[in-house]
Structure 1
Amino acid sequence: MDKSQEEWSTLLQDTDNAVILDVRTEEEVEDGYIPGMINIDIRKGQDFLDEIEKLDKSKTYFVYCRSGARSGQACALMQQMGFDQTYNLEGGFMNWEGEVAE
């Protein structure tokens, strides 16, 4: 489910079992990231699916990429795999105004 930057950030703060999932490439992550995230590159195809399958489906996932397109695909895939709570960051990291780590 797509969420605006503000909605995503507020929900993230209010969710006890939140996991931040960055689906960008390692090179993109080197340019900065949201603190506390785990990185699983969606472009790795089957490896991406294998890594996602290992995650706890009972948690709430806050997913982002650079612009919001790949993370939208990731949320759709995760929902097909049985994840009930996935939130896509509209506009992605390039529009993120929250805390950033490098």
Structure 2
Amino acid sequence: MGQSPSSKNYTNNSSDHILVQGNADMKNGHVEPRVWTTQITKQAKKGDLILSVRAPVGDIGKTDYDVVIGRGVAAIKGNEYIFQVLIKMKDSGYWT
């Protein structure tokens, strides 16, 4: 589970750490950088799976970067098989 950094540490500087807060930061099954932060709280490593834990719950993505994760997401270690199983569960309505 993530932990949000203080909003005073949010930036638009792509040299800072990518912040994943929720669904808005995931597109087509991958993390898409949108917001950055100078404060590291909780991290996910490149290749980890990111799951949204706020409405809408269950969106899934992979990260191609080391990222900071906010309260709206959780990160797990996984492989392509686990990723595809989670996608199938989501698409079949398992989370609803």
TM-score, normalisation: structure 2: 0.29
Question: Which has the greater radius of gyration?
Answer: 2
The alignment's TM-score, normalised by the length of structure 1, stands at 0.28
**Larger relative contact order, structure 1 or 2 (CA cutoff 8 Å, min sep 6):** 1
Judging by fraction of residues, say which structure has more strand.
Answer: 2
Higher helix proportion, which one? Answer: 1
